[in-house]
Amino acid sequence: MKIFPKSLKKGDKIAIISPAGAVEPAQLEKSLQMITSKGFEPVLGEHLYTKFSNGYNYAGTEAERLKDMNWALNDPEISAVWASRGGYGCQHLLEGLSLKEFAKNPKWYIGYSDNTAIQSYLLKKGFASIHGQTIKTSSFGVTEESYEVIFDILKGKKPKYSLKSHQLNKQGNIEGELVGGNLALIYALLGTKYSFDFKDKILFIEDIGENFYALDRMIMSLELAGVFKKIKGLIVGGMTNMGDEKENKQYEESFDELSYKLISDRISKYHFPVIFAFPNGHIKDNRPLIIGSKVKIKAGEKVKVEF
């Protein structure tokens, strides 16, 4: 039985932290104003804007980022935790995470991309989270609706989505618990104690900036790990800027058709329902999903995804 955090009310505090890559204040300004305009109080982590370079521009050392994460998760005055961005670095924190106070007062964790590592950890402990847009304004932008649905979830309303059918979809109706997120992190956690439990689950995947052979490698790893034998359904979101530099000019769409074909070919022997082009991922129209929630899928001439 998964635990869902209680709904937020006006005046509640939302912690803003940077668990992975570094950010500049200007990149968060608009979104922080939006949180305030919705009646919530953004509370900035001590190391939100810290920078630490060690082969990558992190938002602080591992100890600094872990300190902010554990504060945000466990402070009783905080009602939700919203990641400023992804990038790389969330895996560093897994061994040091504490849920002592969090377990007494669960709160929504919001993020995507590298934050999949944190969300997998939370789900292993029994807690649902929101796979949705981070605070940072990304280069591809974000729609107002992408944020609005997050606020709806925070207030206790579960999303329902109606989509056009994609030519590679596999039809069928299924209900199950949603797991997944960024494919690179799902792949990186395989074989560890922090990996998702895939048995009888509906898997969601999305990614950005991978060579096509790297995408195939990750899908092959899921295949060799028996993931596709365990799941009940698959949702494929954005595949953005895939391919090498020469190929990128051809494949700039968020719903990359060659990426979709590679995935479709690899899972062709399986008969579970599959939805392509779901609007979640490193894309402008990034509609949130609830990791750990029951979800109903109807994949036919019209597609419905309901929590």
Q: Is-contact 59 22, C-beta < 8 A?
A: yes
Q: Taking each helix axis from N to C terminus, what angle separates 257-266 and 212-224, rounded to the nearest 10 degrees? A: 20
Residue 271: its pLDDT value, please? 96
Q: Tell me the pLDDT tens digit for each residue of 161-191.
A: 999 999 999 999 999 999 999 999 999 999 9
Give the count of alpha carbons within 13 A of 193, CB side only: 3
**Nearest 5°: phi and psi at 169?**
-60, 150
Does 265 score more than 60 pLDDT?
A: yes
Residue 247: its pLDDT value, please? 55
Tokens of 183: 């494919």
Does 251 score more than 90 pLDDT?
A: no
Rounded to two decimals, the pTM is 0.96
Residue 55: its pLDDT value, please? 97
Residue 254: its pLDDT value, please? 87
Strands (E) across the chain are located at: 13-17, 41-44, 52-53, 57-58, 78-83, 108-111, 129-131, 160-164, 172-182, 201-208, 233-240, 274-275, 289-291, 294-299, 302-306
Compute the distance between CA of residue 10 and CA of residue 80 in angstroms, rounded to an integer: 13
Compute the distance between CA of residue 175 and CA of residue 200 in angstroms, rounded to an integer: 10
Residue 140: its pLDDT value, please? 75
The percent of residues above 90 in pLDDT, for the chain, comes to 93
Does 245 score more than 60 pLDDT?
A: no
Q: Which of 131-140, 217-226, 262-271, 286-295 has the lowest mean pLDDT?
A: 131-140
Tokens of 69: 């994460």
From the CB of residue 124, how many other CB atoms can be counted at a distance below 10 Å? 14
* 111 CB burial (10 A radius; 0-12, 13-18, 19+): buried
Residue 253: its pLDDT value, please? 66
Would you list the domain boundaries of the chain?
Answer: 13-154, 160-306
For residues 272-282, average pLDDT: 97
Topology of domain 160-306 in CATH is Glucose Oxidase; domain 1 (3.50.30)
The percent of residues above 70 in pLDDT, for the chain, comes to 97
Mean pLDDT of the chain: 95
Q: Under DSSP, is residue 173 helix (H, G, I), strand (E, B) or coil?
A: strand
Architecture of domain 13-154: 3-Layer(aba) Sandwich (3.40)
Does 248 score more than 90 pLDDT?
A: no
Nearest residue to 105 (alpha-carbon basis) of 127, 131, 90, 83 = 127
Q: Tell me the pLDDT tens digit for each residue of 65-117.
A: 999 999 999 999 999 999 999 999 999 999 999 999 999 999 999 999 999 99
Residue 258: its pLDDT value, please? 94
Does 138 score more than 90 pLDDT?
A: no
Q: Tell me the pLDDT tens digit for each residue of 23-69.
A: 999 999 999 999 999 999 999 999 999 999 999 999 999 999 999 99
Contacts of 157 (CB under 8 A, 6+ apart): none
CA distances in angstroms from 297 to 118, 177, 253, 261, listed in the order given: 25, 11, 25, 21
Residue 1: its pLDDT value, please? 75
